């Protein structure tokens, strides 16, 4: 009798553990790739190293951007949320292509690509958030999902007026936008996983 009760308790615990493990596994992909990046640390390291630390900073920014967008697509597939629109993945990939982190980072030797890379990183996040908002509104019509606003023209003009130095502030804002996006995304992923478990 006691063995049967223990066995039933063990089975129920195992079933809930499998469900929790599935959710943790889905969330692990998000948490693992979407790390917060501290701009001040990288900026100080760049000053101390006479600009050399900008290379790994840009490389990591591009890599985490690529991983995040790819992880978002995989999460949508895992939870079968891509059934909403079968062409969603190809549309997102066409709007936000994967960026080659090594080539982009090496191009920084020429200095000018730093402005282009900052512009594209900012633009990609804006497009990505708009696409996500369209997806999430269809999945969760009762919730409000706000996209971050940043004026690309304003920061480009600031960079021109300051003879390129303004790109540091623009980069700071872009890094913070990505950090905010990743923190919000973690909350949204929890909702998506709950939604996926109900299906």
Domain ranges, ordered by start, for the chain:
51-198
Q: Rounded to whole angstroms, how far apart are CA atoms 100 and 96?
A: 12
Of residues 31, 58, 30, the one with CA closest to residue 42: 58
DSSP, residue by residue, 140-151: -TTS--PPP---
| 141 band by pLDDT with thresholds 50, 70 and 90 | confident
pLDDT tens digits, residue range 64-122?
Answer: 888 888 877 777 676 655 444 444 544 544 567 888 888 888 888 888 888 999 999 99
Does residue 172 contact residue 140 with C-beta atoms inside 8 Å?
Answer: no
Q: What angle do CA 145, 148, 154 make, to 5 degrees?
A: 155
Between 4 and 88, the higher pLDDT residue: 4
How far is Cα of residue 56 from the mean position of the Cα atoms in its chain? Answer: 18
- Whether pTM > 0.85 for this model: the answer is no
Report residue 32 as tokens: 């693992």
Question: Comparing C-alpha atoms, which of 158, 177, 192 is closest to residue 64?
Answer: 177
Distance CA 54, CA 114 (A): 10
User: Cα–Cα distance between 153 and 161 in angstroms, integer?
Assistant: 12
């Amino acid at each position: 009798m006691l063995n049967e009760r223990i066995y039933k308790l063990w089975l129920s615990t195992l079933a809930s553990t499998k469900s929790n493990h599935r959710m943790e596994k889905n969330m692990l992909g998000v948490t693992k790739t979407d790390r917060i990046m501290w701009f001040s640390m990288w900026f100080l390291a760049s000053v101390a190293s006479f600009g050399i630390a900008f290379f790994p900073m840009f490389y990591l920014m591009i890599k985490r951007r690529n991983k995040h967008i790819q992880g978002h697509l995989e999460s949508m597939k895992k939870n079968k949320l891509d059934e909403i629109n079968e062409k969603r993945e190809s549309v997102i990939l066409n709007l936000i292509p994967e960026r080659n982190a090594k080539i982009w980072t090496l191009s920084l030797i020429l200095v000018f690509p730093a402005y282009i890379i900052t512009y594209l990183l900012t633009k990609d996040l804006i497009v990505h958030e708009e696409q996500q908002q369209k997806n999430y509104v269809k999945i969760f019509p009762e919730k409000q999902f706000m996209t971050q606003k940043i004026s690309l023209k304003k920061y480009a003009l600031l960079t021109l007026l300051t003879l390129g130095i303004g790109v540091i502030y623009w980069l700071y804002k872009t890094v913070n936008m990505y950090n905010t996006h990743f923190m919000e995304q973690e909350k949204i992923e929890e909702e998506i996983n709950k939604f996926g478990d109900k299906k």
